[in-house]
Amino acid sequence: MPSFRKSSFGSRITGHSGIRDLMVDIGEARSAAGKEAIMMGGGNPAHIPEVQLIWRERLQALLDPPHEIDSVLVDYDGPAGNSRFLEAIAAFFNREFGWNISAKNVAVTNGGQTAFFFLLNLLAGRRDDGSDSHILLPLMPEYIGYADQSIDANLFVAKQPKIELIGDHQFKYHIDFDALEITDQTAAVCVSRPTNPSSNVLTDDEIARLSDLTREAGIPLIIDNAYGAPFPGVVFEEVKPIWDEHIILTLSLSKLGLPGIRTGIVIAQEDIIESLTTMTAIIGLANTNVGQAIVTPLVESGEILDISRDLIRPYYEKRSQHAIELLDEHLPADLPWRVHKSEGAFFVWLWFADLPISTKELYQRLKARKTFIVPGEYFFYGLKTEDWPHSRECIRLSFTQPAAVLEKGIRILGEEIRRAYENE
Ligand SMILES: Cc1ncc(COP(=O)(O)O)c(C=O)c1O
């Protein structure tokens, strides 16, 4: 049977996309064959036993009398989210960080990913007057998951960062503020913090400058806090969570170890929240509420901060240090590799200057050895300068796997890197 004709949106959203490849790899890792693979690809959280115990206890509490689970399973929530959860989130940020928000500044979405589909298309694309507007990404590489979300084509304008070289084998990105240009066509500025893929954490100063620029221009600054402070808190630098009327802050329960319950949280001015609420109602009626039910008491008590600070952050910080040690041990010291300063999230971001093969080819060679990484090409989009060799010389590697698996994977990577540079 021939395939049916598609709309242009249908063709675009079903065309080739990096995030699809990544999620397919993650899904395959759960199959029997996949369990033998060395998965350093996707952004799956680690299985942290102390944290998993907390989720099991919370699930048990929902099952125990008075059987709160019954209402969780049987009743739809309103499209903004569960009202007790929304109140708890607003009270948490007011109490802990002195903000002045209410439940009307909070909306739940079906994961952070869906929040971005809503926000990016709500703000940018074709306007009523026929002009096009874009999202400015001030520091490329940026999260692969935004790249293919546009209903209209070409949603992004991105900027190259300044690169600081540190020692022989490290580097760090900085925003090139001189290159940033906010025009009438700029609908919003968007950053992930920590940044997926590079693990770069924009400093408080960089965020303050972006906030000033966007406030003055009368446009939103979207801060994607999927890994950030205060929860899940996978950030190894001291940073201050901020919010203001023009800031749209997105959070997620996924990187706390709950990606299966698909819960994203958006904190924004009321107008944005109302728009998201309408979009949820139209597209999905309501959100999944199990995740909200699991974490509400932990948000009310503030325990979510202790979990993030005492269990989650130290776990990943240790893993990140271990990954760096393994890179030093297994990547050839005489070759020009560099790792981005590891400041948060679940990844190390490697740069192989003048790599003779593309990182997509490197991906294929590693895959043939059952070792999965993510080729860096996917994380560079919206750039005007198409030919930036750096964009073909980086890979992302997740360090959430058990230590022995990571060691094996990085050893294989070291061998393949040697082979690539020596043109074998
Ligand atoms: C930077 C960033 N933003 C958003 C998301 C979306 O996550 P979720 O939809 O599970 O909340 C991810 C997931 O990996 C991410 O890395």
Indicate the fold that domain 75-302 takes in CATH: Aspartate Aminotransferase; domain 2 (3.40.640)
Q: What is the mean pLDDT of residues 245-274?
A: 97
- pLDDT tens per residue, range 373-415: 999 998 999 998 768 999 999 999 999 989 999 999 999 999 9
Burial 384-401 (b: 16+ CB within 10 A, else e): eeeeeeebbbbbbbbbbb
Q: Is the CB of 226 under 6 A from ligand 1?
A: yes
Q: Is the CB of 141 under 6 A from ligand 1?
A: no
- pLDDT tens per residue, range 100-122: 999 999 999 999 999 999 999 99
Nearest ligand 1 atom to alpha carbon 110: 9
Q: How far is the CA of 255 from the centre of ligand 1 (A)?
A: 8
pLDDT at 16: 77
Q: What is the mean pLDDT of residues 274-288?
A: 96
Which runs of consecutive H residues, i.e. helices, occur in 152-287?
204-217, 270-284
CB–CB of 396/145 below 8 Å? no
316 confidence band (pLDDT: 50, 70, 90): very high
Nearest ligand 1 atom to alpha carbon 196: 1
Q: What is the mean pLDDT of residues 129-153?
A: 92
Q: Is the CB of 393 under 6 A from ligand 1?
A: no
Q: Is the pLDDT of residue 63 over 80?
A: yes
Token output for 81: 């989210």
Query: Per mean pLDDT, which range of 32-36, 208-212, 259-263 is the poorest?
Result: 32-36
Q: What is the mean pLDDT of residues 204-214?
A: 96
CATH, domain range 8-51+307-421: 3.90.1150.10
Q: What is the mean pLDDT of residues 188-216?
A: 96
Q: Is the CB of 200 under 6 A from ligand 1?
A: no
**Domain ranges, ordered by start, for the chain:** 8-51+307-421, 75-302
- pLDDT tens per residue, range 154-177: 899 999 999 999 999 999 999 999
pLDDT at 380: 94
Reduced to 3 states (helix: H, G, I; strand: E, B; else coil), residue 27 is helix
Token output for 91: 């009270």
The two beta strands, 247-252 and 264-267, are: antiparallel
Q: How far apart are the first and last CA of the chain?
A: 44
> How far apart, in whole angstroms, are the C-alpha atoms of residue 1 and residue 395?
40
Q: Is the CB of 220 under 6 A from ligand 1?
A: no
> How far apart, in whole angstroms, are the C-alpha atoms of residue 285 and residue 277?
9
Q: How far is the CA of 65 from the centre of ligand 1 (A)?
A: 34
Average pLDDT, the chain: 94
Q: Is the CB of 45 under 6 A from ligand 1?
A: no
Nearest ligand 1 atom to alpha carbon 143: 1
> How far apart, in whole angstroms, are the C-alpha atoms of residue 341 and residue 70?
47
423 confidence band (pLDDT: 50, 70, 90): confident
pLDDT at 33: 64
pLDDT at 386: 67
Cβ of 148: how many Cβ atoms within 10 Å?
19
